[in-house]
Amino acid sequence: MAYKSTMTQEAMKKLAALSASGSIPQHIAIIPDGNGRWAKAKGKSRVFGHREGVRSVREIVEACTQIDVSYLTLYTFSTENWNRPKDEVSMLMRLLVNSLRQEMDNLYENGVRLTTMGEMGKLPVDAQKELQRAIDKTRDNTRLTLNLALSYSGRWDLVRAMKRIALDARAGRISPEDVDEKMISSSLSTSSLPDPDLLIRTSGELRLSNFLLWELAYTELYISECYWPDFRTDSLIDAIHAFQQRERRFGLVSEQLPEQTAQRSTAKEELMNAITSM
């Protein structure tokens, strides 16, 4: 199937060089922070920042499809975000609906499957309907799974999982001895996804903000100083390049990972050579 692309040739070449320079994260999770502060710094309203943030989402989704990222999870709206001013929350919900309507065909045509996690029942009815329409339309796509965390928090998901397990134990379907990491993982909203390989947070903040608290146990963290509206393809390349330099030991020692160590030692050189030869 031929996919549509709006990326420049230069961006495509950079992404191709990145793919050739080392491993690409299978699952990238992003905390897209700083829309409001970006707008304030420019003397604009917060809504202007959020709208520009949608452009970043569009570009990052397309970039991920170009380098064969399989899963992209965006922390779109947290449980705590409901405590923001009502006018801003209403604006964000309208922006969600409008963005889904505008982007649905583009997602479908580019092989992107949309999924969600969180308390969908708390969203306005029109937002729920648009999300379901997009989920239904894209459900058979396989190029990239775009997972939106909406009305979501890591603690909410863990409590929900523990309640499910407790109910099963009370009903006699499982015993306490049956509870292990695999059971807990299978009870979370992310049960159908692999744990993220890379977490990107924009705006320079150094915290998880109640996002994927169980799933990030061995995830590589990358903090970008730029605000989300400024995070585009080059920023994503920087983040993945940093990921390619990491040694993911998972409790082992370096000597047990000879192949990964060798790949990491040459990745930067290969990437620089590929880019400078363009």
Q: Report, as residue numbers or ranges, the catalytic residues.
A: 33, 81
Amino acid letter at 89? V
Which residue, among 219, 267, 273, has the nearest Cα to 19 in the 3D structure?
A: 267
What is the largest distance, in Å, between two alpha-carbon atoms of the chain? 64
The strand pair at 112-117 and 220-223 is best described as: unpaired
Q: Which residues contact 4 (CB under 8 A, 6 or more apart)?
A: 106, 109, 110
Give the separation between CA 78 and CA 80, rounded to whole angstroms: 5
Contact 68, 19 (CB under 8 A): yes
Contact 187, 161 (CB under 8 A): yes
| DSSP string across 37-87 | HHHHHTT--HHHHHHHHHHHHHHHHHHHHHTT--EEEEEEEEGGGGGS-HH
Give the separation between CA 191 and CA 172, rounded to whole angstroms: 23
CA distances to 9, 67, 148 from 17, in Å: 12, 10, 28
Token output for 6: 């709006």
